[in-house]
Amino acid sequence: MPHILQTIVFAAVQFFANFVQTVTGFGGGPVSMPPSMAVVGINDAKAAVTAILWLTCIVVSVREIKNIDLKQLGIILAGMVPGVFVGMWLFAELPLKILMLIYGIVVVFIAAKRLFFPAKKDPAAPLRIGALILAGLMQGMFTSGGPFLVVYAVSAIREKNRFRATISTVWAVINTYMVGRMAFQGMYRGNAPVLVAASIIPVAAAILLGKKVSDRLDHEHFLKIVYILLMVSGVLLMYNYFIQ
């Protein structure tokens, strides 16, 4: 694929992913990373997607600052941060092909669980804490901790606007560290800054549109669409592993 076409496709993916992120407070990473990895490679995809979602979540957090649940923000960060450190270490140490397979399996499992077997009651406390740790792990590895974080957050933060504002702030804080760490590691010396710059206008449009839609959308139906897309993305990742 020509370089200019790669950049255009990447920017289009970021538009949709950040639209999802703005509407729901999560999902931008899992929706964005699989196609982004396929188009520009795992390292550039992780660096660029993390920076873009970081900017999006800062904007959403500032706009929704009055709705942030500070108590839950502290609990979530305390549970996730250790996993983020471990996840970033695993990303640097494990073979990329194995990482893609693991990621594909995790994405398909989460999407299938949320789509076909939605929880009818709040999960037990140990499961909720474990989900926070796994959310940090997946965020550190693939910028995709959202589906695990939802396991905890849907029962801890009931109101839609408080949920979106608090979760966006979680990503803003964690991704501040991740962007700084990746910059120190030299991951922004290649193509990633070009990808970020090319995505600024589409992402800004996605944030504006997402805000309008979030105020009037049937949340449950939109989430079903997101989970279907996640499942397709995960299947494609596993397919790419076996054909390479």
- pLDDT digit string (tens) for 182-239? 999 999 988 999 999 999 999 999 999 988 887 777 767 766 776 787 787 778 777 7
78-107 pLDDT tens trace: 999 999 999 989 888 888 778 778 877 887
Angle, CA 214 vertex, CA 30 and CA 36 arms, to 5°: 25
- CA distance linking residue 200 with residue 195, whole number of Å: 9
Element (H, E) at 175: helix 160-184
Question: What's residue 222's pLDDT?
Answer: 67
- CA distance linking residue 210 with residue 16, whole number of Å: 10
- Cβ atoms 237, 104 nearer than 8 A: yes
244 pLDDT above the threshold of 60:
no
- The total number of residues shown for the chain amounts to 244
24-33 pLDDT tens trace: 777 788 788 8
Tokens standing for 227? Answer: 């989970």
pTM given for the model: 0.81
Q: Residue 36 to residues 16, 184, 223: CA-CA distances in angstroms? A: 12, 22, 21
- CA distance linking residue 117 with residue 204, whole number of Å: 34
126-164 pLDDT tens trace: 888 888 998 899 888 888 787 788 778 877 887 878 888
